[in-house]
Structure 1
Amino acid sequence: MMQKSIVLISGSRNTKDHLYSQLKEFIPEYISICCYASEENIPDEISADLIIYSSDNLKNEISERGIKLNCKDYIISERSINFDYIELVANIPPKTEVLLVNDEKETTYSSIEDLMELGLNHIKYYPYYPGIERYKKLKIAITPGESDKVPDCVEKVIDLGPRIMDINTLYNIMDKLNFDNKDTRFFTKRYMQKIINVSKNISLVNNNINTLNTYLNNIVDSLVNGILVIDENGYIKYANEQMTKLLSPDKRNIENRNVKNLVDKEALKYFMSADFYENKDIEISGSIIKTSKFKIPNSDNVVITTSKEKKANSKSKFTQDLLLKGHFAKYDFEDIIGNSYQINEVKLTAFKLSKSELTVLIEGESGTGKELFASAIHNTSNRKDGPYLAVNFSALPDELIESELFGYEEGAFTGAKKGGKIGLFELADGGTIFLDEIGDISLKVQTKLLRVLQEKEIMPVGGTKIKSVDVRVIAATNKDLRKMVKEKQFRSDLYYRLKIGYIHLPPLRERISDIKDLVEYFISKETSKKVKISKEVIDEFESYKWLGNVRELESTIKYMLAVRTTDTLTLDDLPDKKFFEEEVGEDNCDSDYEFKILSGELLSILNMIKKLEDNNINASREKITKALNDIGIDVTENKIRTKLNYLEEYGYITKNRGKKGTVLTRKGLGYLNSMILEGE
Structure 2
Amino acid sequence: MERKDLAIITLKKEAGEIYANQIREFLGENIKINLYSYEENNIIYFNERLVILSVRLKYQEIESICSPDTQIIIPKLTFEKSSFNNVSKLEKSQTVYVYNLSRSMALETVDLIHKLGSGISKLIHCYPGFERIPSGSTILTPGEEIFIPIDNCEVIDLGYRIIDLGCIVDIAVKLNLDYLIKEDLLKKFMDKIIPTSYITEKLLVNQTKLENQFDFLLSSIDEGIICVGNDGIVQFYSHVAKDILGLNENEMIGKHIEEYIKTCNFNNIINSETTHFQRLTKVNNIDINLEIKYTNINLFTGYIMKVTKFYQAEKKQAKLRSQLINSGNISKYTFDDIIGESENIQNTKKIAFKMAQSNSSILIMGESGTGKELFAQSIHGSSSRNNGPFVAVNCSTFQDGLLQSELFGYEEGAFTGAKKGGKIGLFELANNGTIFLDEIGEMDLSSQATLLRVIQEKQIRRIGSDKVIDVDIRIIAATNRDLKKLVCENKFRKDLFYRLNVLPLKISPLRERSEDILLIFNSFKNNLDANFKLSDEVMNIFKSYNWEGNIRELRNIAEYCSYLGKNIIEESDLPEYIVESIDSKEECKQLLMKNTQIEIPKFKRSINDYIFVLDKVNKAYTNKERIGRRKIYEVAVSEGRFLTEQQIRSILLELQDYELIKVLSGRGGSIITDKGVYFLEQNK
* Higher relative contact order (CA closer than 8 Å, sequence separation 6+): 1
Decide which structure has the larger Cα Rg and report it. Answer: 2
TM-score bin, normalised by smaller chain: 0.3 to 0.5
